[in-house]
Structure 1
Amino acid sequence: MSKQDLKPNHDLSTPSIELANGQVAVTGLPNAPMKQNFSILSIIAVGYNISNSWVAIAASFAIAIQSGGAVTLLYGIILVAAIMLCTGLTLAELASVYPTAGGQYHFTSILATSRWSRSLSYSSGLAAVFSWITLSASIALSSANVLMAIIIRWRPEYQPETWHYFLVYQAMNAVMVLYNIFLTNKTLWVYNLGFVLSISTFLAITITCPARSSIQLDSSHVWTQFANGSGGWPDGISFLTGLSTPQFMLSGLDATLHLAEECLQPERIVPKAVIVTVIVGFLTAFPFSVAIIYSYKDVELSLTAPTGFPIYFIWEKATHSPVAATIFMACMLTVSCIALNAVHQTSSRLTWSFARDEALFYSNKLASVSPTLGVPVYAILLDGLWVLLLGVVYVASSNAFNAFISTTVVVAQISYAIPSALLLYRRRSTDYLPSSRPFKLINSVGYIVNIVTIVWAVVLTVFFSFPTVLPATGGNMNYTSVVLVAMLVLGIVNWFAYARKHYHGPRLEL
């Protein structure tokens, strides 16, 4: 096999694979091991269901409010949406040329030099795998918090313990693992239902809360008053740490990339789905946040709500109806469960793809697809096991949810930044981005969005590892850095014990 760098063949009308030194160019995916049953609407629905931006804002509302109040939340949404649009454009352009379930780690393998192809694609792939596992943990814990908040509101005598939340979290995870194995492929309509329910609930909340609220707020207070509740951080750092709430609204942006081999014409459908996810995410998260902020005068007071769920408190105060607020919470819980199912599905497909390339221990099992169920059962079970183990972090720290969110977005952005940097290294050459690609950016715009993607990964890695409040204690510290180090250690051990000998870059069975 030649040692020179590969220049891929890009005839987008026919399937093509060229492999050299771990690099692969792919277009067209006939005879894929899983059914190609996603239409453009279905895959957009999956992408939206995973991000569910207004739900993500509602679930992580406390982080932004504590780190700057409405200013961090509202301006943060605008800033993050613009940056993640750049990231989305980067991913969409690459996906239009290389539509495979591996997504960013496949892109990395193609773009890297032969010397660095294996190690860089392995790093990108592992970062992506870990980001999806922690995203599953984030949504499972958020769903548990929603359910427990409803119980506490209607049974005020109930005294919840940490292990109660832990058990609900584990139950959420177990149910979705089983659903993914036995039912997901038979009930894809659930994603369409989740999309409709999410949009309907968003409209109901956005209209009802301001209409029912008797509060009159001064706009200058909303848009200019920075409420630093960090306990010691300067306003700038407090603002940056509080951006984990807006950033969470577009977590899982690469979801549709990893379902490319289950949809028709992925080189056209997947790029559209990525961009639509960002646009719809912003168009729901921003109006939702504005409506909530203008519905209650002292949003900082919601941080002390007995239920431990600030948005529930605000909904009840704004609507003057605990029943209405509880209905909103029930809808949010339903949408969150659908999102959790979608995340498990996408996460398992990425793990399956990574194992197919022999990057993980027991790859022969993890890369198998059940002939009767049509899903990668072992990959689903492994991801579920990791989510189960991450639950231990919650027992150790009350800020586990913050750590899961921060870890998710940090490692995800790193996985996006690696192929972005390599694309710049290749000077966006037509050898790697053929002029015939279905989704094309003006070259100058391409350079800008690639650079923004890389810079943002650095910003997130630094500031999302900071404690959100000072002084930091064992109970409230940000365990993001601990989780990141644990992931790094696991990745290094897996590399030297297995992947270094077996992983040779992306490989497809066509």
Structure 2
Amino acid sequence: MDAQSGTIFIDAVKEKDPSNLKPLKPIVEELGDSSLNEDDKLVELGYKPVFKREFSTWATFSFAFSISGLYATIITTFSYPLVAGGAAAIVWSWFIGGVGCMCIALSVAELVSAYPTSGGLYFTCKNLVPPNYMPVVSWVVGWLNLLGQVAGVSSTDWSCAQLLLSAVSVSKDMTYQPTNRHVVGVMAAIIMFHGFINSLSTRWLDRITRFYAAFHLLVLLICIICLLAMCKHFNTGKYVFTSVEPSSGWKPTGFSFLFGFLSVAWSMTDYDATAHIAEEIENAAVRAPQAIALALSLTYFLGWIFNIVLVFVMGTNLASLSQSSIGQPVAQIFYDVLGKNGSLAFIIFAFVILNFTGVTSMQANARTIWALSRDQALPFSRYWYRINKTTTTPVIAVWLNVLCCIGLNLIGLGSIEAIEAIFSVTSIALDWSYVIPIACRLIFGKRMNYKHGPWNLGWLSMPVNAFAVAWTSFVSVIFVMPNIRPVTPENMNYAIIVLAGVLLFSLVYWWSGARKNYIGPRVNVDMDSDDPFKMK
């Protein structure tokens, strides 16, 4: 970009409306997109490049695939469809629910291609919502996304602790029974370990992430082969695909069946996590959405196959599975089919895989905190926005995430049922942080002159977007209801309380003064200052 063009661009940035970058458009059209490198595109969106782009194509896919934690998350959420409706609920809730999840994932991938920034779908509100409503809409979307990601890291690392202690229980022939305090203590250690890893440079995170996808796929394949080879008594196909045995207490049976959607919704979520590292990916407008689409497609297909295999080998005594002394129904299936050593190995594999999910989830969440702080959407934003000069990563945001996740999981000291509500909060908060921008694109897209990125769905875009919004509206009602009846203080679904509490705090913070400084995602390419809080 020559000096004259640079002057035009700076003048545009200094206008009262920071989103008005029209003087740059003729330059972009003249040069052609192919001549712009990725940092130029980021500047076009209004942001200074801060991170090093060191994520390779394979690492980007591996990162997107790791967010689901497919093998491990099925193990930790298997109890939901098991109780909701038994064999058929396990198989068909994943198949049906996965269609809705795929529509959300593909819709998210489109928006990530159009706006590849660390703000993820939060940033898209700047270009999809009319100016009068943009600040409050982006505020709600940002806080929902932050809540969903904190809940996601918390529930992931809680499950990590459960898996590790389940392995200990198996190794001691079930003579050891972990308590809530044991789980909380192990969980805190795991979260701090993940915080240490995320304090490393992007280059090291890239190297760690590359290993994950191949390891995960290999473990899943070996597990399926071993279960099929070692099982002595298979359930019939009729039982697997048609047997409905709800034990949730909800009636009619069809309504109980719906609670099984939580397993697939929790596994196939956090779609925009890859977007939060977009400023660390080369050719992010193409690679990031491709990674999201491919990773979620594999998760959907392989997850359905794995669930079918588990139902074929699990036997028919559902009560013994749901009340397993090991603590996890799938761990009990492993023990019954593979014996002590085999089950111990595959539980440990699940623990390792879920640790990768925890690491990548925390990395995405730290970038979310950093991006929201860049726009002064959080209390004390100036501190969370700082980048460590040695690692060039937002280390302070990482450790804020660590503290928030440990604090949230302390709920588990009082009630296991209460902490399991975090699973529901993850799906609800994250999915709504996606479908609000998707809905805005459907409603205001033409008015806001929305343009597709290089990766898009073509003519399928509108129907897929519409179904994503409708599906989220439907399942959110299910996810805030108690999973078991009769309802008691012990089995109450506290997801609605956690969700309402955080939203109430964000709105009180908004009306108490934050709205005076917050204008939504803002431009920070004012070259006269290095202070990110002197933004226009």
Return 404-413 or 424-433, whichever deviates more.
424-433
Change (3 A) 1:26 1:126: farther
Show CA shifts across 1:209-258 (max 9, x none). 01110113221111111111111332232122221011111122111111
Query: Is 1:209 the counterpart of 2:227 in the alignment?
Result: yes
Q: 1: CA distance between counterparts of 2:200 and 2:456?
A: 39
Return 410-419 or 81-90, whichever deviates more.
81-90
Letter in 1 for 2:226: T
Query: Is 1:439 the counterpart of 2:458 in the alignment?
Result: no
Q: 2: CA distance between counterparts of 1:105 and 1:268?
A: 19
Q: CA deviation at 1:90?
A: 1.2
Q: 2: CA distance between counterparts of 1:95 and 1:282?
A: 20
Change (3 A) 1:16 1:339: closer
Q: Is the 8 A contact 1:50 1:343 kept in 2?
A: yes
Which residue is equivalent to 1:161?
179
Which residue is equivalent to 1:237?
255
Change (3 A) 1:30 1:420: closer
Q: CA deviation at 1:166?
A: 1.1
Q: Is the 8 A contact 2:383 2:396 kept in 1?
A: yes
Which residue is equivalent to 1:127?
144
Which residue is equivalent to 1:21?
none
Which residue is equivalent to 1:175?
193
> 5+ residue gaps in structure 1?
18-23
Q: CA deviation at 1:16?
A: 11
Show CA shifts across 1:243-294 (max 9, x none). 1011111122111111100111111111101101211111321111111111
- Counterpart secondary structure, 2:416: coil
Q: Which structure carries more helix by proportion?
A: 2
Letter in 1 for 2:218: S
Query: Is 1:505 the counterpart of 2:520 in the alignment?
Result: yes
Q: 2: CA distance between counterparts of 1:350 and 1:100?
A: 10
Which residue is equivalent to 1:397?
415
Which residue is equivalent to 1:493?
508
Q: 1: CA distance between counterparts of 2:137 and 2:37?
A: 25
Which 4+ runs in 1 deviate beyond 6 A? Answer: 2-8
Letter in 2 for 1:473: T
Query: Is 1:45 the counterpart of 2:62 in the alignment?
Result: yes
Which residue is equivalent to 1:303?
322
> 5+ residue gaps in structure 2?
1-14, 526-536
Query: Is 1:189 the counterpart of 2:210 in the alignment?
Result: no
Query: Is 1:200 the counterpart of 2:218 in the alignment?
Result: yes
Q: 2: CA distance between counterparts of 1:41 and 1:3?
A: 39
Which residue is equivalent to 1:292?
310
Q: CA deviation at 1:396?
A: 2.6
Overall identity of the aligned pairs, in %: 24
Show CA shifts across 1:96-127 (max 9, x none). 12111111111122110111000001111111
Which of structures 1 and 2 has the bigger CA Rg?
A: 2
Q: CA deviation at 1:373?
A: 1.9
Change (3 A) 1:299 1:364: farther
What is the number of equivalent residue pairs in this alignment?
501
Letter in 2 for 1:440: N
- The 5 A counterparts of 1:275-290 are 275-290=293-308
Q: 2: CA distance between counterparts of 1:171 and 1:159?
A: 19
Change (3 A) 1:368 1:70: same
Q: Is the 8 A contact 2:57 2:287 kept in 1?
A: yes
Q: Is the 8 A contact 1:5 1:113 kept in 2?
A: no
Q: 2: CA distance between counterparts of 1:431 and 1:250?
A: 31
Change (3 A) 1:234 1:397: farther
Query: Is 1:318 the counterpart of 2:317 in the alignment?
Result: no
Q: 2: CA distance between counterparts of 1:185 and 1:486?
A: 37
Q: Is the 8 A contact 2:109 2:290 kept in 1?
A: yes
Q: 2: CA distance between counterparts of 1:7 and 1:27?
A: 8
Change (3 A) 1:331 1:479: same
Q: CA deviation at 1:5?
A: 9.6
Normalized against structure 1, the TM-score is what?
0.93
Instruction: Identify which of 381, 395, 408 aligns with 2:399.
Output: 381
Q: CA deviation at 1:136?
A: 0.3
Change (3 A) 1:184 1:308: farther
Return 217-226 or 345-354, whichever deviates more.
217-226
Q: 1: CA distance between counterparts of 2:20 and 2:486?
A: 52
- The 5 A counterparts of 1:31-180 are 32-155=49-172, 156-180=174-198
Q: 2: CA distance between counterparts of 1:499 and 1:49?
A: 35
Which residue is equivalent to 1:469?
484
Letter in 2 for 1:100: T
Change (3 A) 1:157 1:310: same
